[in-house]
Chains A and B, each alone.
Chain A
Amino acid sequence: MKRKISKRLIIQIISALLFNANFRGFAEGRIYTGKLKTLCVPGLNCYSCPGALGSCPIGSLQAVLSGRKHNFSFYVIGVLIFFGVVLGRLICAFLCLFGLVQDLLYKIPVPKLKIPKKADKLLRWLKYLVLLVLVIALPTFVSNQFGIGEPWFCKWLCPAGTLEGGLPLLAGSENLQQAAGGLFAWKLAVLIVIVLASMFVYRPFCKYLCPLGAFYGLFSRVSIFRMKVDKEKCTLCGACEKRCKMGVEIRKNINSAECIRCGECIGSCPTGAISRCIGGFEKNEGEKNDGRTSC
């Protein structure tokens, strides 16, 4: 049976290649060192990935906070607010390399697990805790005798760093292989757990642990890219909520912080009640929203 490749998958692959276009780096086992790295990419993309042309915003935030000079990063927070307001969690669905990795893993035909609603709801708060504690508080307030802190999230939790940076760099360097010890074993174990979980549960890292998704989720209600349910057309059949792999209560709160704007629900609606909104404009019809709907 022939499977159609979705437009979203194509955009995910193109963006992953664009943000990691230093292909020579993979062959040479070296990272890109040009000035482009001053700029943050929108998704979780380790700057120690040999292909990376830009900087990971979460890594950059910790780099500034853990340094001696600043206790707040206007630059990175400004960039994150900009991405959050313009694209919001659309970034998770279309522009995040680690999101793409999880999407591909979920395509592996193994039985899929549904996390009980209560546990799922509780676990979703973890990513905010990760953002507050590992990304902001510990790098800002815990430092050594020289006043320099550590990127706690990158060091102890981030699976993207291990997958995109650690594995390719270690594969090409005997020195790094010899230096790898307990911390690498821990990070590899975290990566393996997340990779395995991603086969059974849709995007477990995005749902429960990603601090970047947590930050962008804060802008879901105001971001330029949003979703809309036409309540006059909606028959409350629930087909959209059955299709939504992120577990969004679409009829109740379509623009929830958990919605990654993947658009799966649009195709599932038998009455065409769901559409995308760009600013105040409905994408499907190209007409200005008249204010009667939630767009």
Chain B
Amino acid sequence: MTIPTGRKVIFYILLIISGFLVFAPTLMAFAMSFMSNKDIMTGSLPTSLSFDNYVRAFGQFPLLKYLLNSLIISLVIMLGQLILSSLAAYAFVFLEFKGRDLLFFVFIATMMVPFEASIIPNFHIIRDLGWIDTYPGLTVPFFAMAFGTFLLRQNFKQIPKELREASQIAGMGDFKFYLTVVLPVARTSLLTLGVYGFLTSWNMYLWPLLTTTNDNVRTVQIGLKQLQTQEQLNDWGVIMAGAVIVVIPTLILLFLGQSKLQKGLTEGALK
């Protein structure tokens, strides 16, 4: 099946124009982060490019600390989600016990509760636990995840049940089977879910805004908000440098894992 040349040209034109439009805001931010304030104010094309904005952003704000906090929080949430989701998915696929269908329904029901609808008591729970401004307060509430459980369940289902029966006859317990057979077989799905979990945790906004009050645990997203509100002089170059620093890790992750993420998310969402 070959595409006629005329149609090919039309497609490339459409692809390029759309690509430019979609990417324009990001491109603009990248360009501005290297431009001097004078160039930005006069709206001219960059006359000189420098890292000044980055130096100043890191100098005026504990951005490095924020980045480290975001990294720790995102990694911990990612790991927590992977462990809890895979354990739950294992139970739903391989274990047969009374009440399993009911529990499965409970998991589905959790997807209908928006986090924002229960955020007030959640905040009070974290406060009463003394978890304000701590890593547990920023991570533990997000460990249990119905979407991740469903995605992995879909994947685990493809593992033949006979394999488990055989391993049980060979004296292998469920936990060992989960660790040594199921997890390695499902590593692609685990990776997909991991990337997804990292992306969403890194980009979290409302919860860290509520539960962080100092620089020790503040995430880079809230740092960026502060940078934007505290820059009195409309120093857009510095603000954009901060924004670029925030998006670089997730953009890289997305560029590396785009095709896998697409496959994994479609599977989890639709089957």
Bind each other: no
Residues of A within 8 A of B (CB): none
Residues of B within 8 A of A (CB): none
